[in-house]
A and B are shown apart, each in its own frame.
Chain A
Amino acid sequence: MAQPYSQLPRWVDYGLIPLINLTVAFLVAGLVVLAVGENPLRAAVLMVEGAFGSGDGIGYTLYYATNFIFTGLAVAVAFHCGLFNIGGEGQAYIGGLGVAVGCLAFDSVFPWWINLPIATLCAAAFGGLWALIPALLQAKRGSHVVITTIMFNFIAASLMVYLLVDVLKPVGQMAVETRPFAEGASLPRLDWMIEAFGFTIRRAPLNITFLLALITSFLVWILIWRTRLGYEIRTMGHSPKAAQYAGINTTKIIVITMMISGGLAGMMALNPVMGAQERLQLDFVTGAGFVGIAVALMGRSHPAGIIPAAILFGMLYQGGAEMSFEMPAITRDMIVIIQGLVILFAGALEHMFRPYISLFFGRIADSSLKAAPATTGEGH
Chain B
Amino acid sequence: MIEAFNTIILILDSTVRLSVPLLLACLAGLYSERAGVFDIGLEGKMLAGAFAGAAAASVYGSAWIGLVAAILVSIALSLVHGFASITHRGNQIVSGVAINFIAAGSTIILGQAWFRQGGRTPPLGSDGSRFETINLPFADSINGIPVLGPIYSELLSGHSILVYVAFAAVPLTWWVLFRTRFGLRLRAVGENPAAVDTAGISVVWLRYRAVICCGILCGLAGAYLSVAQNAGFVKDMTAGKGFIALAALIFAKWKPINAMYACLLFGFLDAIAIRFSGIKIPGLFEIPAQFMQALPYILTVILLAGFIGKAIPPKAGGQPYVKER
Contacts and interface: CB of A to CB of B under 8 A. Distances in A.
Interface string B257-296: 0000000000000000000000000000000101101100
Given A32-B106, A334-B105, A340 B297 contact: no
A110 to B, nearest CB: 33
B305 A343 contact: no
Nearest to A157: B294
Given A141-B306, A341-B102, A36 B110 contact: yes
B301 A351 contact: no
Contact of A331 (B89, B112, B290): B112
A32 B246 CA distance: 29
Chain A's interface size range is 35 or more
Contact of A336 (B85, B101, B112, B297): B101
Interface stretch (A97-105, A147-155, A225-233, A256-264): A147-155
A283 B250 CA distance: 28
Contact of B101 (A2, A155, A159, A340): A340
A161 B290 CA distance: 7
A151 B109 contact: no
B80 A344 contact: yes
A46 interface: no
Contact of A348 (B85, B247, B300, B313): B85
Contact of A337 (B94, B109, B293): B109
A147 B243 CA distance: 9
A228 to B, nearest CB: 28
A158 B109 contact: no
A243 interface: no
A146 B40 contact: yes
Contacts of A208: none
Interface of A: 1-2, 4, 32, 35-37, 84, 86, 133, 137, 141, 143-144, 146-148, 150-152, 154-155, 157-159, 161-162, 166, 290, 293, 297, 329-331, 333-341, 343-344, 347-352
Contact of B90 (A155, A157, A347): A347
Given A151-B300, A154-B294, A347 B95 contact: yes
Contacts of A2: 322, 324-325
28 contacts: A35-B110, A36-B109, A36-B113, A86-B40, A133-B301, A137-B301, A137-B304, A141-B305, A144-B318, A151-B243, A151-B247, A151-B301, A155-B294, A158-B290, A158-B293, A159-B290, A337-B102, A340-B98, A340-B99, A340-B102, A343-B97, A347-B98, A348-B84, A348-B85, A348-B92, A349-B84, A351-B88, A352-B88
B173 interface: no
Contact of B288 (A36, A166, A329): A166
A143 B305 contact: yes
Contacts of A86: 40, 93, 97
Given A331-B112, A336-B104, A155 B93 contact: no
A147 B109 contact: no
Interface in B213-270: 240, 243, 246-247, 250
Contacts of B143: none
Nearest to A163: B290
A361 B100 CA distance: 35
Nearest to B43: A150
B90 A290 contact: no
Majority secondary structure of chain B interface residues (helix, strand, loop or mixed): helix
B298 interface: yes
- The CB with the most chain A CB atoms within 10 A, among B103, B113, B298, B306, is that of B113
A162 B291 contact: yes
B97 A290 contact: yes
B160 interface: no
B108 A331 contact: yes
A221 B100 CA distance: 30
Contacts of B169: none
Contacts of B104: 333, 336, 340
Contact of B297 (A143, A154, A330): A154
A154 B306 CA distance: 20
Contact of B98 (A137, A155, A162, A343): A343
A151 B249 CA distance: 13
- The CB with the most chain B CB atoms within 10 A, among A84, A146, A290, A297, is that of A146
B243 A339 contact: no
Interface string B185-203: 0000000000000000000
The list of the 5 closest CB pairs from A to B, nearest first, reads: A340-B101, A336-B105, A337-B105, A348-B95, A348-B90
Contacts of B294: 154-155, 157-159
Nearest to A342: B98
Given A146-B40, A158-B291, A350-B90, A32 B109 contact: yes
B290 A162 contact: yes
B14 interface: no
Nearest to B323: A2
B110 to A, nearest CB: 7
A330 B110 CA distance: 9
Contacts of B135: none
B311 interface: yes
A344 B304 contact: no
A2 B323 CA distance: 9
Contacts of B100: 340
A349 to B, nearest CB: 5
Contacts of B112: 329, 331
- The CB with the most chain B CB atoms within 10 A, among A84, A158, A159, A341, is that of A158
B40 A351 contact: no
Contacts of A32: 106, 109
Given A333-B108, A351-B88, A290 B304 contact: no
Contacts of B80: 344
Given A1-B322, A2-B324, A337-B105, A147 B304 contact: yes
Contacts of B102: 337, 340-341, 344
Contacts of A349: 83-84, 88, 90, 95
Given A141-B306, A150-B243, A344 B106 contact: no
